[in-house]
Structure 1
Amino acid sequence: MAVGLAITNEGGQYNGRITLFVVLSCMMAAMGGVIFGYDIGIAGGVTSMEPFLKKFFPKVYTKMKEDTKISNYCIFDSELLTSFTSSLYVAGFVTSFVASCVTGAFGRKPSILAGGAAFLAGSALGGAAFNIYVLIVGRLLLGVGVGFANQSVPLYLSEMAPPRLRGAINNGFQFSIGIGALSANLINFGTEKIEAGWGWRLSLALAAVPASILTLGALFLPETPNSLIQHSKDHQNAKLMLQRIRGTNDVQAELNDLIEASSVSKTNNHPFKKILQRKYRPQLVMAIAIPFFQQVTGINVIAFYAPLLFRTIGLGESASLLSSVMTGIVGTSSTFISMLVVDKLGRRTLFTIGGIQMFVSQCMVGALMAVQLKDHGGLSKGSAYLVLVLICVYVAGFGWSWGPLGWLVPSEIFQLEIRSAGQSITVAVSFLFTFIVAQTFLAMLCHFKSGIFFFFGGWVAVMTVFVYFFLPETKNVPIEQMEKVWREHWFWKRFMVGKLSDGTKEDHNIGSQIL
């Protein structure tokens, strides 16, 4: 029986409601975000555990325990340590292109299943690792899993969601990332206290829990109506699925739009070549710019290295892990707030508010550390906790802006014929720059010192201005009508010449749907 919130047909929207069936399906698919978040949180935590460092990174352990002449900012600067952290993103970068082919050829469900299975195998190797090589192979498998999940889950959520609630449902992916990271931080805080020194093994092995849920759950996930239409000439199954997920029999208008979009996409056998065409320039720019900007906010270095960063400013091992738990709670809570307001306030408003908040807090952290944290010694307890508060303010700003919207906006702006290619580019760029930032952060911290926060703060200022001028508002616009939004934008309309991709004339009333 369909239960939930009614979705009216005002403003050109489709009929339907948010049903229990679609909520449960999206919750299960969003476990793909949990595995990603768990890995982000767990990696930063175990690399601050002394037994883990002593076994796999003895040089870092020696510097931390014995060499007091090394700068606070350089203690954890190790190529091997950063290679461990960032190897996942190399695998994810390569996998994202393979995942695009799988998603396009076989549907969203098989990609989600493949992601869960690969992550499950990687967690087993990580927990059982006896040398650095096994550890990194396990991490590469985690990267394969995350590559499949990050490519397919945002698409799945966008295609299952009713237009008026697409933002809230798709933001569930980032919310799941936050849940995964918070769970990892709590687990690290507990396993660090295991006196026998094998707590890190438990932390890494417990990644199998969300991976198992995702893998088993994927077996029972329904395929999206978009994918059913794309892979079958019989549209009856797609119509029945639409009726089930919308909670109404009146789905013909939405079904017709999906069939039209699928017809256009089937004339195109080369989506990566097609997305390079001039008329897709706005989407291509956003597919590259948004994940790039998301990574140079500096959020992942906070997530990866938060325990190390808190140890740098003078907090102990346990206090550092507890501080990471606090930032995880703040990030998850702010993402939940974003889910509630994104379809009311819109994407651009949240981008702007979050950008200003992140910029101010990063500059304040940089200024405080520049004045008080020298190469040797530490911050006073009061100053260290002030840094923690400012980082929480920064994480909150990210949590309701670039965190969820960095996944939402790219997943909703592509026409069906370029959707898998566009999402693949988004994920690949995200992995590429996550790898670059993760690989260079500890060296940059060593050389830039407190200036690292001004570096990322500068990028936040740039991306906030970029969004203000170049990103159109997409709230409440049906995903199959998104092309019309670009045609009305002051800058991008110059690339959108001629008829719409479905052969129809442009509807100039689309702007009223996003006001």
Structure 2
Amino acid sequence: MPAGGFSGPKGGGTEFEAKITPIVIISCIMAATGGLMFGYDVGVSGGVTSMPSFLKKFFPVVYRKTKNEIDSNYCKYDNQGLQLFTSSLYLAGLTSTFVASFTTRKLGRKPTMLIAGVFFLCGTVLNAAAQDLAMLIIGRILLGCGVGFANQAVPLFLSEIAPTRIRGGLNILFQLNITIGILLANLINYGTNKITGGWGWRLSLGLAGIPAGLLTLGAIFVVETPNSLIERGRLEEGKSVLRRIRGTDNIEPEFLELVEASRVAKEVKHPFRNLLKRRNRPQLIIAVALQIFQQFTGINAIMFYAPVLFNTLGFGNDAALYSAVITGAVNVVSTGVSIYSVDKLGRRILLLEAGIQMFLAQVAIAIILGLKLKDNPAESTLPKGLAILVVVFVCMFVSSFAWSWGPLGWLIPSETFPLETRSAGQSVTVCVNLLFTFVIAQAFLSMLCHFKYGIFLFFSGWVFIMSVFVLFLLPETKNIPIEEMTERVWKQHWLWKRFMDDHEGGGAVFNGLSPGLHFRHSVHVLFLSLSLCES
């Protein structure tokens, strides 16, 4: 792409000269492998937990249920230990996030990515070599720690090293890598399940070492971000790195703004206290609601347990894994649709359209299963034609989520919080998301057992509620500069404008900042607030 400056958000902004240099492209590709690793861990667990050899070794009770034609169709995989194998990763990620925020701020983005890579490698070795359930769970916990560190450092690294005009695309590259990781895991599970001798699950878990190794090597060879160097007082080194990654000597304006951003970040004393003020409640309510709603669409239940779910619905083992591959591919393609359309169509239209599509798909699945899949396996199996139709509806659901609630659940909170509370708001967003990811992962198989086909009606009910929420309470933020959100969004909304009459202090220190600084500075303040949260 040609060199050139960035004109900033509409309404003004500083222009910085920046070329898209090879060092930026290579660094971002290497860093984004953290997303690949995360996605692989999400996808691989559902596949191996449907493999008979894996169940026979670690969960013999579940294995016997899968072979027993008397047990309920919906309850074969209902086991807390089996659910803990999946969910422990997310609980570990939630707790390690706070430690990772400290290392990211004190040591830098590059060392934090290296720590994540080491956690991933150790967890992979333990999982692939596991001889008992304890070893298996410890391995998943180590992988979860890697997720916590990677999800803190990698998006920040990508935001800081990329030229502003391609920053959005490179950040979505991280999420795109997550979907690719899920797809690769499903493909590998499909292949390893055919290996005779009962050791295919070890290969599935062990191949996670490839993206883990790439992330570790990348963390060794990539440059540290100039933002990190400057905020740790290494100004000359930061200026040198900035010159290298921008491919120009004209970096003084951007350098001075980074120095000012670092200074202002240190003046934010109580971001979490500011977050609770009346004028910030609309953003807080929306951010928390979006994270809860994102999980209660049921998407993670499907992505975590897709092969198990399809097995439960009467598919053969190979067919279950094959169906999971199809849904993974749909997930990747549909994420690309979001990249193309989010700034053209807007946030609300994508969320509302997806709400209708997800609702119809889940209701249709519930009707098919309620009519054709009886509780007793000896009395009922799902006909092939209807089984294919279930896969089609699942793909319909996954595609709509991937271009709406998946990326927008993260995008909208990041662009709605004002600067003085953006750090604390993003911290709350991450914590709530991981907490409810853990809850759904730990509860889904038990819910499937008790609700049976009604599980899809349960999630469709939530989809209806969240769509009503979007219709009445979520304002459109398309093409609105971050620094103008209060005047053009919150003060214009029929309900949220009532909260905009709180003029207590908390934002005056930022009034002199340029729009470019507002946008760039947000990532700095995020990690300052996380460190305050720790203390």
Normalised TM-score (structure 1): 0.88
CA RMSD of aligned residues (A): 3.0
CA contact 1:282–1:486 (8 Å) conserved in 2: no
1:497 maps to 2:503 = yes
Q: Which amino acid aligns with 1:327?
A: T
Q: Which amino acid aligns with 2:101?
A: S
DSSP 3-state at the match of 1:232: coil
CA contact 1:299–1:398 (8 Å) conserved in 2: yes
CA distance, structure 2, for counterparts of residue 107 and residue 303 of structure 1 = 33
CA distance, structure 1, for counterparts of residue 40 and residue 202 of structure 2 = 14
Unaligned runs of 5+ in 2: 516-535
CA distance, structure 2, for counterparts of residue 275 and residue 427 of structure 1 = 15
Moved more, 223-232 or 193-202: 223-232
CA distance, structure 1, for counterparts of residue 471 and residue 24 of structure 2 = 33
CA contact 2:354–2:404 (8 Å) conserved in 1: yes
CA contact 1:264–1:417 (8 Å) conserved in 2: no
CA distance, structure 2, for counterparts of residue 142 and residue 169 of structure 1 = 24
Match of 2:409 in 1: 406
CA distance, structure 2, for counterparts of residue 175 and residue 407 of structure 1 = 13
CA distance, structure 2, for counterparts of residue 258 and residue 396 of structure 1 = 39
CA distance, structure 2, for counterparts of residue 471 and residue 251 of structure 1 = 39
Q: Which amino acid aligns with 1:157?
A: L
1:445 maps to 2:448 = yes
CA distance, structure 1, for counterparts of residue 484 and residue 150 of structure 2 = 26
Q: Which amino acid aligns with 2:90?
A: Y
Q: Which amino acid aligns with 1:428?
A: C
| Correspondence for 1:22 among 21, 24, 29 | 24
1:131 maps to 2:132 = yes
DSSP 3-state at the match of 2:74: helix
Normalised TM-score (structure 2): 0.85
CA contact 1:33–1:177 (8 Å) conserved in 2: yes
| Correspondence for 1:423 among 409, 422, 426 | 426
TM-aligned CA deviation for residue 85 of structure 1? 1.4
Q: 1:261 to 1:283 in 2, by over 3 A?
A: farther
How many residues get paired?
Answer: 505
Unaligned runs of 5+ in 1: 509-515
CA distance, structure 2, for counterparts of residue 161 and residue 188 of structure 1 = 35
Q: 1:111 to 1:268 in 2, by over 3 A?
A: same
CA contact 2:90–2:435 (8 Å) conserved in 1: yes
1:459 maps to 2:466 = no
Q: 1:219 to 1:258 in 2, by over 3 A?
A: same
What do the CA deviations read for 1:393-416 (whole angstroms, capped 9, x no partner)?
111111111222223334445566
Match of 2:65 in 1: 63
TM-aligned CA deviation for residue 483 of structure 1? 6.6
Q: Which amino acid aligns with 1:364?
A: A
CA distance, structure 2, for counterparts of residue 373 and residue 325 of structure 1 = 23
Match of 2:42 in 1: 40
CA distance, structure 2, for counterparts of residue 185 and residue 5 of structure 1 = 41
Match of 2:208 in 1: 207
TM-aligned CA deviation for residue 35 of structure 1? 1.2
Q: Which amino acid aligns with 1:264?
A: V
CA distance, structure 1, for counterparts of residue 197 and residue 79 of structure 2 = 26
CA distance, structure 2, for counterparts of residue 183 and residue 473 of structure 1 = 35
Q: 1:353 to 1:228 in 2, by over 3 A?
A: farther
Q: Which amino acid aligns with 1:168?
A: G
1:352 maps to 2:352 = yes
Match of 1:263 in 2: 263
Moved more, 357-366 or 51-60: 357-366
Moved more, 430-439 or 154-163: 154-163
DSSP 3-state at the match of 1:30: helix
DSSP 3-state at the match of 1:74: coil
Q: Which amino acid aligns with 1:425?
A: V
Match of 1:99 in 2: 100
| Correspondence for 1:380 among 370, 377, 383 | 383
DSSP 3-state at the match of 1:141: helix
Percent identity of the aligned residues? Answer: 53
DSSP 3-state at the match of 2:221: coil
CA distance, structure 2, for counterparts of residue 488 and residue 245 of structure 1 = 40
What do the CA deviations read for 1:264-307 (whole angstroms, capped 9, x no partner)?
32113454445444454344334422222221111111011111
CA distance, structure 1, for counterparts of residue 249 and residue 418 of structure 2 = 25
Q: 1:489 to 1:98 in 2, by over 3 A?
A: farther
CA distance, structure 1, for counterparts of residue 245 and residue 284 of structure 2 = 30
DSSP 3-state at the match of 1:61: helix
Match of 2:529 in 1: none
CA contact 1:174–1:407 (8 Å) conserved in 2: no
CA distance, structure 2, for counterparts of residue 440 and residue 448 of structure 1 = 12
TM-aligned CA deviation for residue 207 of structure 1? 1.0
Match of 1:341 in 2: 341
Match of 1:327 in 2: 327
Q: 1:503 to 1:405 in 2, by over 3 A?
A: closer
TM-aligned CA deviation for residue 308 of structure 1? 1.1
CA distance, structure 1, for counterparts of residue 471 and residue 247 of structure 2 = 37
Q: 1:464 to 1:32 in 2, by over 3 A?
A: farther
What do the CA deviations read for 1:430-462 (whole angstroms, capped 9, x no partner)?
221111111111111111111111211222222
Q: Which amino acid aligns with 2:49?
A: T
What do the CA deviations read for 1:366-419 (whole angstroms, capped 9, x no partner)?
222122211122211000000001111111111111222223334445566655
Match of 2:533 in 1: none
Instruction: Kindly report which structure 2 residues correspond to 1:27-426, keeping only aligned pairs within 5 A, or say none.
Output: 27-66=29-68, 68-232=69-233, 234=235, 238=238, 241=241, 245=245, 258-376=258-376, 377-414=380-417, 421-426=424-429
CA contact 1:357–1:397 (8 Å) conserved in 2: yes
CA distance, structure 2, for counterparts of residue 275 and residue 227 of structure 1 = 25
CA contact 1:260–1:502 (8 Å) conserved in 2: no
Q: 1:292 to 1:108 in 2, by over 3 A?
A: farther
Q: Which amino acid aligns with 1:497?
A: H
CA distance, structure 2, for counterparts of residue 223 and residue 177 of structure 1 = 23
